Structure 1
Amino acid sequence: MNKIKVKMDKILGSRRFSNYCWATLILCGGTGFFSVGISSYFNSSLYPQSELNNNNLIFLPQGAIMTFYGMTGILISLFLWYTIIFDVGSGYNEFNNETGIITIFRLGFPGKNRFLKLKYYTKEVYSIKIYIQEGLSPKREIYLKTKDYREIPLTKVGEPISLSDIEQQAKEIAKFLNVSIEGLN
């Protein structure tokens, strides 16, 4: 019987559908607020054919606040697009039983630390830990727990994974590495 020697899990970064939606919506809203604020400053409409009339909007304080909110929205949107373009957070987890090495690779922001590559020996692994926190901001994460009690996250950041999926992933990794699982009730 051939036993699989290498297991690789691809990690999705910031190129998710929800991030595209949020970046687009925030850009549209920010541009709208900014254009209304600037229109009140110049006391004329940037969109002459539009039904909106800005004659009742005074620049101080309403127009200035609209301009500020618009610039804030545009900057947040640009940051989101920046993370999407550089696919921050993407990478892979490679478990290699042939060489006895676990490689965790992630992409970061451009610069000196753009590439994060961590290597651990399989003999250093104590267990696979599942962390589940329910509530307003739920967390469902899998950690690689080493014998010196370091906990290295293996799951992607973002929307929580279903309980059955996270349990299945943890069981597969634990079985592959021949270690126990912590956190399952």
Structure 2
Amino acid sequence: MVTTKSQSNVLRYDIVGSRRFSNYGFAVIVAIGALGFLLAGLSSFLKINLLPFTEPLSLNFVPQGLALSFYGIAGTLLEIYLLYVIAVDYGSGYNEFDRNSGKVTIFRRGRSQSKNIELTYKIADVQAVRVEIREGLNPKRALYLRVKGKGDLPLSEVGQPIALNVLEDRAAEIAKFLAVPLEGL
């Protein structure tokens, strides 16, 4: 998350969505794998070597070449989905705390314009800022906003856990800005 402070009465955190380095890397790996499987399956069907570094002509089309073609098509469809999600920047958005209007806005981008999520609450309805820290094999470091009648709303982005010092600083800054208690530290 990147902190943006345009005015002293507005606090805004931008949220990184699917346009992160790991997703680009995963998309490249899936594309290479899908292309390899598809070319191996087509080579066994056409009896033309489309992969110069291996010998797919020794494969029978039924069942090996057919299975490889299926995996290649499935990988290509997954690649198309990954590229779409990266293109629309799924999950990106912002958390904005505005004292001028007295509102908190949580916005996340969806798969299409009609699927975007925008939640707006009054600052007076905010009860606390909560930090959740869980270490171990599946670590979790998350920041939540406790809103009257709505429970805990997540403020942190999905993906790798936030550095502990960044999480603590951000939680303290939001709690101080909203003049609410900080829980979980």
State the TM-score, normalizing by the size of structure 1: 0.89
Matched positions, count: 179
- The Cα RMSD (Å) is 1.6
Please list every run of 5 or more consecutive structure 1 residues that lacks an aligned counterpart in the other structure: none
Rounded to whole Å, the distance in 2 between the matches of 1:167 and 1:63 is 54
Structure 1 pair 107–147 and aligned structure 2 pair: CA distance change class (3 A): same
Match of 1:141 in 2: 142
| Partner residue in 2 for 1:117 | 118
SS of the residue 2:160 aligns to: coil
CA distance in 2, matches of 1:74, 1:136: 32
- How far does residue 149 in structure 1 lie from its aligned partner after superposition? 5.0
Cα deviation for residue 22 of structure 1 reads 0.8
Residue of structure 2 equivalent to 1:39: 43
- Distance of 2:58 and 2:113 partners within structure 1: 48
Q: Aligned partners of 2:164 and 2:81: how far apart in 1? A: 31
Segments ≥4 residues shifted beyond 6 Å: none
- Is 2:172 the counterpart of 1:171? yes
Question: d(CA) in 2 for partners of 1:135 and 1:68?
Answer: 38
Using the alignment, how far apart are the partners of 1:134 and 1:43 within structure 2? 54
Q: CA deviation at 1:61?
A: 2.2
* Shift in Å, 1:118: 0.9
- Give identity over the alignment, percent: 43
TM-score (norm 2): 0.89
SS of the residue corresponding to residue 158 of structure 1 reads: coil
Residue 66 (structure 2) aligned to one of 56, 64, 67: 64
Unaligned runs of 5+ in 2: 1-6
Within 2, Cα distance between the matches of 1:178 and 1:111?
34
Shift of 1:117: 1.3
Q: Tell me what 2:27 maps to.
A: 23
Please state if 1:79 is matched with 2:50. no
